Every structure is written in structure tokens, then in C-alpha cells.
Amino acid sequence: MQNLHNSKKLKEVFKSIKLTGKEKAKEIFELAKSYYKDYAYFKEKKDYVKAFELQNYVWGLLDALAILKAISVPKKLQKYFKTDF
């Protein structure tokens, strides 16, 4: 059930965050979005181990972007990240 909750958080995050204009950050953000699509695919196929691996990787990339201040995260979603804003 926790995995489903995390899925909703990721979906909300991708709808709400914005890049702050750093070129390399865009490349990393696009990579995170690509992994998120892969995550959704494997989750739909009920390959929960692969989906879980991808979900964790996506959060890692998003946390890295947040630490570098390369994304703008709405206040209500900042609680999902491991960094201070």
C-alpha cells in the first residue's frame, strides 16, 4: 500500500515542479521523467520489484535536483523531499 501512496506523490510532484533554467538540470529532469514512465509501465505489468527500483531512482534524481536548487518545488510538496528548501 505504501508503494501506491508513493506513486501518487510522484505523479503530483511531476505535475507541479518546474526547472529553474540550468541546462544540465534539464537533462537530468528528462531522465527522471523517463524513469518515471518506465516505473508506471512496470507497475502496470505487476512487476513490482522493477517498479520499486525505478521509483527509488526517480526520487533520488529529484532529490539531487532539489539539493542543487535546479527545480522549483511548491511548498505543499516539499515534505516529500530529503532536503531543506
pTM: 0.78
Domains of the chain with CATH codes = 2-80 (1.20.1270.90)
Cβ contacts of 63 within 8 Å, gap of 6 or more: 81, 82, 83
Q: What is the pLDDT of residues 12-70, one digit of tens each?
A: 888 888 877 677 888 999 999 999 999 999 999 999 999 999 999 999 999 999 998 89
Statement: residue 72 has pLDDT above 80 = yes
User: Can you spell out the DSSP letters for 13-32?
Assistant: HHHH-EE-S-HHHHHHHHHH
